[in-house]
Structure 1
Amino acid sequence: MDSIVNWVNENQELIIDHTFDALIALLIFVVGIKISSIIANLLAAILNKRNTDLAVVGFVKSLFKAILITCVIIIALSHAGVETTSFIAILGAAGLAIGLSLQGSLSNFASGILISVFRPFKAGDYIEAGGTAGIVQKIEIFFTYLNTPDNKQVVVPNSQITSSNIVNYSSNATRRVDLIIGVAYEADLREAQKVIKQCLDQHEKVLSDPEYLVGVDALADSSVNILLRAWVKSEDFLTTRLELNEQIKLELDANNISIPFPQMDVRISNS
């Protein structure tokens, strides 16, 4: 115990200096983290003023903030007396080892850069990618956030998105509604087509250009299948599909045109 007290007494200046350096390093770290957040938010605000896509803004903000925080940590350690040259070398070796063990995360990072550069979709688009369909909320370094139609948030790794097909339902202004309407064989086929065309003509969301198409698609086992193809605005796709199904059914019923159930004729022969 006496030796410890003696050592403290002999090295008071050294202890005070190191303690002061450690406090300064801690202050640099705390203030640096706050400044990093402020700078990242300022960058995001500048990008937003330039009408940059929100998904890209989120990705750039998170990436820039991570770089700033790394710099703050190195500066704080340097002020605390840690040899940063050797630290950076150790950090590089550790980064290589971690990179090998976290290949999936690095793949997500690279995929996030590809998504931000090539922009196959933007915030607000309804897409199907990585086995999930939903509205794009934001793109971050490793993940893309989607909101499903039933309001569930799904976090999809970026690598899963770039490694599979991406279906963007919002990229084009119009979409085509395809319906198959089956009518009975004994029904008046031309009257049935006339009723369907009237429903299309009366529906305000069905576009006149391109023109819709109505024709016999197949002579099926239990029905004559009439194919309907009509163009609508992308945002009206689902509502128009539902409304056309209901309207066509009601109009066919009103004109005594039946939609048959699957049926089979069985003949018994008395030999």
Structure 2
Amino acid sequence: MEIDVEQLMNTALNLAVLYGPKLIGAIVVWVIGSWVIKLLVKGFGKVVDKSKLDASLKPFLSSLIGTLLKVMLAISVLGMLSIEMTSFVAILASAGLAVGMALSGTLQNFAGGVMILIFKPFKVGDFIDAQGHAGTVKEIQIFNTILKTGDNKTIILPNAGLSSGSMVNFSTEDTRRVDWTVGVGYGDDLDVARAAIKALCDADTRISTEKPVVIAVAALADSSVNFTVRAWVKAPDYWGVFFDMNENIYKTFPGHGLNIPYPQMDVHVHK
């Protein structure tokens, strides 16, 4: 079989004339587009550095933006080469939908982690109470948040629930209010009890003097007259003040003739 060299050359020439400019244009667009994407990603990184976003979020967002821009550039270049993209885009969308449905829970945790890192409802070192668990935030990951409890347990919480559920952050404010319920026996002098509690609060230098200590009769209970005591302290001193005041009240009240009541029952016998 003889090969018609002249016809082959003509065919190659026609293809070169037809597709050559498109190929060259596609290559130029790819090179320039890649360069522009690098500049955009670099500029985004500088913006993130100047913002208050978490440092661990910068590489992830930069990589995500770079990947999306490159996908868009690749689709544009293939379109310049007259390659039909409708079917390709449909297949890509279907595959993305299938993967998204299969990883719905993981993607929710991922989205929750991004929201936490951006809006910062809490940060590493904060003491929080969420999803039925309380502890100090040890690490914020993309999918999970790690808590360390007071008894040295490690708790792993999915970010989806943390970002959408209720949460108490005890470290947001510098000060916290300490509340006590102090009971005295019926028949005890309430003014003496109030003065004794006030003296204990004044003696503790950790209790703030900027806000007044509240000492009020809150309830006439079954076995006691209950005072509500409220004082403000610095957040790190909360538990120390709480425990010390309970002990000091127990030690001090008997010296003032005050009884700390406990549940009891009077039985009257009638003949």
User: Does the pair score TM above 0.5?
Assistant: yes
Between the aligned partners of 2:194 and 2:60, the Cα distance in structure 1 is: 56
Q: 1:68 to 1:139 in 2, by over 3 A?
A: farther
State the 4+ residue runs in structure 1 displaced beyond 6 angstroms.
Answer: 65-71, 85-91
Q: 1:268 to 1:65 in 2, by over 3 A?
A: farther
1:59–1:139 contact (8 Å) kept in structure 2: no
1:215-261 Cα offsets, whole Å, 9 max, x none, are 11111100010110000011111111011111111111232311011
1:187–1:257 contact (8 Å) kept in structure 2: yes
Opposite residue 223 of structure 2, the aligned amino acid is: S
1:58 aligns with 2:56: yes
Aligned to 1:151: 152
1:265 aligns with 2:266: yes
- TM-score of the superposition, structure 2-length normalised? 0.68
Between the aligned partners of 1:202 and 1:149, the Cα distance in structure 2 is: 29
1:125-161 Cα offsets, whole Å, 9 max, x none, are 1111122211112222111111111222211100111
Where does 1:100-179 land on structure 2 (aligned, <5 Å)? 100-179=101-180
Aligned to 1:5: none
1:62–1:141 contact (8 Å) kept in structure 2: no
Opposite residue 173 of structure 1, the aligned amino acid is: D
Aligned residues: 212
Aligned to 2:41: none
SS of 2:207's partner is coil
Deviation of residue 163 (structure 1)? 2.5
Between the aligned partners of 1:140 and 1:68, the Cα distance in structure 2 is: 21
For the aligned residue pairs, the C-alpha RMSD in angstroms reads 3.0
Between the aligned partners of 1:242 and 1:69, the Cα distance in structure 2 is: 55
Where does 1:179-258 land on structure 2 (aligned, <5 Å)? 179-258=180-259
Deviation of residue 265 (structure 1)? 2.4
1:59–1:112 contact (8 Å) kept in structure 2: no
Aligned to 2:6: none
Identity of matched residues, %: 41
- The higher radius of gyration belongs to 2
1:180-235 Cα offsets, whole Å, 9 max, x none, are 01111122211111111000000010001111111111111000101100000111
Aligned to 1:17: none
Runs of 5+ in structure 2 lacking a partner?
A: 1-44, 70-84
1:44-94 Cα offsets, whole Å, 9 max, x none, are xx95xx7957xx2234445657888999xxxxxxxxxxxxx9999866644
1:63–1:141 contact (8 Å) kept in structure 2: no
- TM-score of the superposition, structure 1-length normalised? 0.68
Runs of 5+ in structure 1 lacking a partner?
A: 1-42, 72-84
Q: 1:64 to 1:138 in 2, by over 3 A?
A: farther
